[in-house]
Each structure stands twice: as structure tokens, then as C-alpha cells.
Amino acid sequence: MDKKNNQSENMWKGASPQIFSNAKKLREKQTEAEEKFWLAVKDNQIEGYKFRRQHPLSIYIADFYCHALQLVIEIDGGYHLSEEQQILDKKRTADIEFQGLSVIRFTNEEIMSNLKEAIDKIKSHIKRNE
């Protein structure tokens, strides 16, 4: 396998063309919290690290992903409070972490009301893992 294909496999964890298509659609319909977060992280604004939005990872689409940090950021809306969705979210997190990635979750409310605190939490994660 050449270097480019190896990078693709590592960065996208074998995501299918359908997952890529779904990710593109999600990028076009971001929530208000996702848009606010994106404006804070795009263009390498957090410690010089590049974040991608609606990034395909295997069978999932991460809200935000930094390949250099192996870090997934999830921003959860109100439906994530249901018991059923919490079970699904735990499985999703475990599946993603099994691939050697870290996951940090925020609620929409955390992003909308205290973005600085969320960014500080990410910076703390970076400092612990550099």
C-alpha cells in the first residue's frame, strides 16, 4: 500500500463512500453550536492543530476530528439525553476509542454558553498528551 492510501486508511479508518456522502451533507447543515465551535477551531486556532468537521471515521461521522491529536470532539444536542441515545453514544465512543482515538463530548448548551471553557478543556487535553 502506498503512503497516500495508508494515510487515508489511518485518517478515515476505512469509511465507505456513503459515509463520505453523508458527512458532506452534514457539513452543509451544521447546528448553531457546531457552527460556533467551528469558527473557534478552524484555521488551526487551537495550539496550531488542524480540526476537520463532520469527518468520516469507519462507520461513524465525527462532529470534529484532529488527526494529529487522534482526537474526536462530539457536540451533543438534546436528543442525546434519552436513555436509548446514551447507550448508543457509549457504544460509539467505545468503538472510536478502540481505534486508538480519544473522544471529548460537549453539549450544545456548553458550547453556546461557555465556549471558552470547552476550548480550555481541549487545550488541557493537548498539554496532557504532547
Express each pLDDT in 13-48 by its tens digit: 888 888 898 888 888 889 999 999 999 999 999 999
- Grid coordinates standing for 122? 481541549
Residue 4 has pLDDT above 70, yes or no: no
Which domain CATH number covers 84? 3.40.960.10
Nearest to 64 by CA among 41, 90, 46: 41
Instruction: Report whether 61 contacts 23 (CB < 8 A).
Output: yes
Give the chain's domain count.
1
Q: Are strands 71-76 and 102-107 parallel, antiparallel or unpaired?
A: parallel
Domain extent at residue 18: 3-129
State the virtual CA torsion across 54, 37, 101, 80 in degrees, nearest 10: -80
What distance in Å separates the CA atoms of residue 34 and residue 53, rounded to the nearest whole number? 9
What does the pLDDT look like over 63-85, one tens digit per residue?
A: 999 999 999 999 988 655 667 87
Residue 92 has pLDDT above 70, yes or no: yes
Residue 5 has pLDDT above 60, yes or no: no
Nearest to 33 by CA among 104, 107, 118: 107
